[in-house]
Structure 1
Amino acid sequence: MRLLSEAELKRVLTPELAVESSSRAFIALSRGEILVPVRSEIARPDGAGVVFAMPGYLPGRVFGLKVIATRGAASTAMILLFDSESLAPLGLLSADFLTDWRTAGGIAAATRLLARPEAATHVVFGAGRLAGPCARLVARVRPIIRTLIIGRTPTRAAALAAALRAEGLEAEAVADPAMVAQADIVTTVTSSDIPVFPGAALRPGTHVNLGGAFRPETREADDDLARCGLFWCDSEAACLARAGDLVQPLASGALDRARVLGEIGAALEGRLRGRRDAGEVTVFKSLGNAAQDICLAEDALALRDLAAPYFDPKGCRIGP
């Protein structure tokens, strides 16, 4: 069994790999080629965090488990990967950086499919560890000329904007959530329990990524977005069970079930419609899925030449 540290993962996980690996994982998930049960959760008794257990199984290839724990703003994660036939352990990977980049990679993959080709202004809600990767990877798939960061802590938002400017992105920290009226793409990666922007302020044609809230009682989007948006999920079953951004408006009637179109993997493969006209408000709900973790972990092991010979150095080989 091989061990991959955070430093090693930062050397091998490129932006392009993060996007393409998530795309393959979403397609495999929607085909039923990778088996992923709804994740298990243990809430901390003090209410300050949660522990997730996220297993996944690729028949004939690998199976694995990611464990991620949060406490306040802190989190830690590990992935253990096994050969599905011999049951030999293949690798133990530190997964903090991997989790950040697989989440941002999935958001970028959905954005590449659903956002208008000319989308140029990206509004990011959140200034934590996911906000930077999302800003960077979305800028890889659309011609972003302006990135606006809206964070609960102004100093953190300003620091992130400065870091992005140092990398060549035109970024600034702003305070008013109504700035979504200027957005072509909106991405939310916050710890908020309640909606963070007014859905009524969105322009026709905006694409929205909802990447923060992950429990039925929490949400980042309001009923106005639920009424006007068309929704795609990373995992439809998981989102309908666990994502407050869908669970709550479906229960209240603000979201018509027919507006939840299905899984992003089916749309990436062309079996499900994507954006059909420039005026649609498209929404991708990302809960995060073990399919992404296992595919990206497999890719990382392959790129380091640390795993068994059947691993494809181009990535996670699933399907024809």
Structure 2
Amino acid sequence: MKLLSEAELRRVLSPALAVASSERAFIALSRGEIAVPVRSEILRPDGEGVVFAMPGYLPGRVFGVKVIATRGAASAAMVLLFDAESLAPLGLLSADFLTDWRTAGGIAAATRLLARPEARLHVVFGAGRLAGPCARLVATVRPIARTLIVGRDPTRARALAAALRAGGLDAEAAADPGVVAEADIVTTVTSATTPVFPGAALRPGAHVNLGGAFRPDTRESDDELARRGLFWCDSRAACLARAGDLVMPLASGVLDPARILGEIGAALAGDLRGRADAAEITVFKSLGNAAQDICLAEDALALPGLAAPEFDPRGEAG
């Protein structure tokens, strides 16, 4: 069994692999080729965080589970992966960076399918750990000329913009959520519980990624986006049960169920349409799915040149 540290994953995971792995996971999920039970959740008694257990089974290949715990802005995560046939443990992977990149990879995969090819202005809401990876990976699938970071903490937003500039992106902080009026792509990865931008301000043809709120009583988008947008989900069942961006406007009658077109995996596979018109406002709702964790962990373990120690759980470390 290989042991992959955070540092090793940062060294070997590439943007291309993160995007391709999420595409593979989404397609497998939509085609029923991977079994992903509803994740278990344990809320901290102090209300400051949650513990998730997220299993997945890819028949004939691998099965495993990711455990992730959050407390405020802090988190810790691990993925344990097994061979589906021999039951041999394959790897134990630190999963903080892996989680960030599988989430950003999924958002980039959806963006590559749904955003207009000429999209150049990307507005990112949030300045936390997911905002940077999303900005970087989206810029690998569209010709992004400018990235704007909108965050509750201006200091953090400016620091993230500076880090993105150091990595080669033209990025700056913005204070006004109304900048979405000029955006080609909008990505939200916040901890907000209420809408963070005005849906009425979006111009025709914009693409929106909703990647933050993950409970039925929290949302990052408003009723106007629900009226105007066409929605694709990472998992339709999970989103209809837990994504407040869909649950709340459906309950109020603002969102027509017919505007939820289906799963992004079906669209990536060609079994469901993607963008059909340059003026459509397309929306991808990402809750995050264990299928992405399982596929990216499997792909990471198969990479050549890993500097990963071996461990035999029935014996001693190698």
TM-score normalized by structure 2?
Answer: 0.95
1:70 maps to 70
Identity %: 85
Change (3 A) 1:55 1:305: farther
| Letter aligned with residue 207 of structure 1 | H
Displacement after TM superposition at 1:95 (Å): 0.2
1:81 maps to 81
The unaligned stretches of length 5 or more in structure 2 are 309-318
2:249 maps to 249
2:12 maps to 12
Alpha-carbon displacement from aligned partner over 1:106-133 (angstroms, at most 9, x marks no partner): 0000000000000000000000000000
1:174 maps to 174
2:97 maps to 97
Would you say the 8 A contact 1:68–1:76 is kept in 2?
A: yes
Q: Does 1:124 align with 2:131?
A: no
Three-state SS of the structure 2 residue aligned to 1:231 is strand
2:162 maps to 162
Within 1, Cα distance between the matches of 2:162 and 2:112? 25
Would you say the 8 A contact 1:66–1:290 is kept in 2?
A: yes
2:193 maps to 193
1:60 maps to 60
Q: Does 1:298 align with 2:293?
A: no
Within 2, Cα distance between the matches of 1:58 and 1:19? 19
| Letter aligned with residue 33 of structure 1 | E
Aligned ranges 1:227-306 → 2 under 5 Å: 227-304=227-304
Would you say the 8 A contact 1:12–1:304 is kept in 2?
A: no
Displacement after TM superposition at 1:304 (Å): 4.3
| Letter aligned with residue 30 of structure 2 | S
Within 2, Cα distance between the matches of 1:34 and 1:76? 25
Q: Does 1:109 align with 2:109?
A: yes
Displacement after TM superposition at 1:166 (Å): 1.2
Within 2, Cα distance between the matches of 1:305 and 1:286? 32
Within 2, Cα distance between the matches of 1:64 and 1:12? 21
| Letter aligned with residue 275 of structure 1 | R
2:39 maps to 39
Within 1, Cα distance between the matches of 2:38 and 2:206? 30
Within 2, Cα distance between the matches of 1:54 and 1:305? 28
Displacement after TM superposition at 1:305 (Å): 6.5
Within 1, Cα distance between the matches of 2:283 and 2:299? 28
1:223 maps to 223
| Letter aligned with residue 162 of structure 2 | A
Within 2, Cα distance between the matches of 1:61 and 1:20? 18
Displacement after TM superposition at 1:186 (Å): 0.1
Displacement after TM superposition at 1:231 (Å): 0.2
Three-state SS of the structure 1 residue aligned to 2:299 is helix
| Letter aligned with residue 99 of structure 1 | T
Alpha-carbon displacement from aligned partner over 1:263-299 (angstroms, at most 9, x marks no partner): 0000001110100011000000000000000000001
Within 1, Cα distance between the matches of 2:291 and 2:95? 14
Superposition RMSD in Å: 1.0
| Letter aligned with residue 271 of structure 2 | R
Three-state SS of the structure 2 residue aligned to 1:50 is strand
Within 1, Cα distance between the matches of 2:165 and 2:82? 41
Displacement after TM superposition at 1:221 (Å): 0.3
Displacement after TM superposition at 1:84 (Å): 1.2
Within 2, Cα distance between the matches of 1:37 and 1:281? 31
Within 2, Cα distance between the matches of 1:164 and 1:60? 40
Within 2, Cα distance between the matches of 1:113 and 1:25? 15
Within 1, Cα distance between the matches of 2:37 and 2:263? 15
Within 1, Cα distance between the matches of 2:12 and 2:299? 9
Change (3 A) 1:250 1:120: same
Three-state SS of the structure 2 residue aligned to 1:140 is coil
Displacement after TM superposition at 1:40 (Å): 1.1
Within 2, Cα distance between the matches of 1:122 and 1:259? 24
2:137 maps to 137
Aligned ranges 1:13-32 → 2 under 5 Å: 13-32=13-32
Alpha-carbon displacement from aligned partner over 1:42-76 (angstroms, at most 9, x marks no partner): 11111110111100001111100000000000001
Three-state SS of the structure 1 residue aligned to 2:139 is helix
| Letter aligned with residue 221 of structure 2 | A
Within 2, Cα distance between the matches of 1:304 and 1:130? 27
